[in-house]
Structures are given as C-alpha cells and as structure tokens.
Amino acid sequence: MKFLMCDPKFYDVFYSINPWMKIENKPSNSLAVEQWNKLVELLRSLGATVEVMEGKSYLPDIVFTANAALMIGNTAYLANFTHPERRPEKELYTVWFNLNYYETTEVVDFFEGAGDALFDYNRHLFAGYGFRSSKGGLLYYMNFCSQMGSIPVHYVQLVDPYFYHLDTCFCPLKDGFALAYPPAFSEESFATIKKYMDVIEVPEQDAKRFACNAVCLGNKVVIPSGCPETYERLSQFRYEVYDTDVSEFIKAGGACKCLTLRLDEFA
C-alpha cells in the first residue's frame, strides 16, 4: 500500500473551523513532528510505502492529506474545500499529483476527498455529507464512479459537528467489518451502514479519541493511542492492532487516517 503524507513542520492551529480547534489550546509543533515521524515509521514497518510532500507556512492543515482527493486508479478527484482557510491547499496538491504523474479532475461543489469518501474491501464506496462535503459535490464525482463500472455508492449523513468528516466516525475493515460511532450518523444512515457492514461499535470515550480514524493495511489496523475498548474489540475479531500517539493532531480535529491519503486505491 502507498500513502501520501505531508511534512508537519508548519502544522499549527491559528484559526478554528471545527469544534476541536481552539486557539488557546495550540499544539506543540515539536511534539507533533515527533508523533508524525513515529506514525510514518510504524506504517513503513508494516510494509507501507510513504511518499512525503512539503507544506507551506500559510497552510497549517495541509498535513491532513486525506482531504486532498479521492484516488481511483491513477486519477486524483481533487477536493474543493468548504472553508476558505483550506482552499489554497488544492494548488499544492495539484502540483504534487502532476509532478508524480497522476491525472487530476476538479469539482465545482464542495467535496473533501478521502475524508468523506471511503471504500470498503468489497469496493463499495461510502460517501459522507452534512458538514464539509455537499451531496452535490459527492454526486458529481460519484457519476465518474458509475461510468467506470459497477461501484456501489452509499450516501450517509453526518449529524454531529465533532465528527465532521466520515473518516472521523467510520472505518471500513477487512472481511466486511467496520468501526463506527453510531451517534455521528442520522438514524437512516447508520441503518445503511449496518445493511452492508458488520459494525464494531466504538464507545463515546474512544470515539472522542478518534478511534475510527484508523489506517488499515489488510488485517493490520493502526489506531490512535488511548482507545482501550476499541483496541480490545479489534483484537477479539483477530485484527492486529497497533496504537500510536497523535494527540497533538487531535487538537486540530484529525488523527492517523486524516494524516494519510491512500494513493493506490483501485490501482
């Protein structure tokens, strides 16, 4: 598996665009860099390839590369960010994708990449809307999916602003399972997830430690530290679980999955 990550040397919180971000609770950049390096080392030790792009001082959130695009084959379906603070990120992402021989395509409506569009292992696509991605933005890109063949798409509505991206409250796992935090979804949407996935429900305390914001490498699952119940539940289902401290990034509303973009989805 291949992931894109961004050097965190410019990571900071100097605006607030989600409930986790508080100017008075700034992250320690030195500690964040240390935590990021450990995540990179862990992913590489588990067999992943990690590509690293450079950030810019005026883009503190570009470290959360999951929002850059949805990757299908060699094409990056680029994000169109809801908040003006993040919109300049698209230019840097576009340059990186072009320099690395990926094709790119854009959407007019709001869409925040793999933060709100997640494939399961059966190649069903779950598309989250409600806070960042609009249903219009999702529909535009999902039309490309339908043109590629039979890629089933399931739309799910997010209702809790603390879980503003789908990948903060939902994580597809190997063998038809998924981590999910039920209160983050409308009742109908959670029923949709349960229709297609065997759900391992994440308790509130772990959800607020971003337990669902996990990185999956086959049977190996990397979760944020401090999520003991989720760690135990995953272990009971015979997943190999690895935890790592990403607490400085949680201060901006992201964790392990937010810091990575899978580049070889559908490759």
Distance CA 69, CA 214 (A): 18
Distance CA 102, CA 209 (A): 34
Residues whose CB falls within 8 Å of the CB of residue 212, separated by 6 or more in sequence, listed in order:
167, 168, 169, 170, 171, 179, 180, 181, 202
Tokens of 211: 């337990």
- The residue with tokens 């990185």 is 215
Question: What region, left, alpha or beta, does residue 19 occupy, with left being phi > 0 and alpha being psi -120 to 50 degrees?
Answer: alpha
- The residue with tokens 């994708």 is 97
The residues assigned a catalytic role are 165, 258
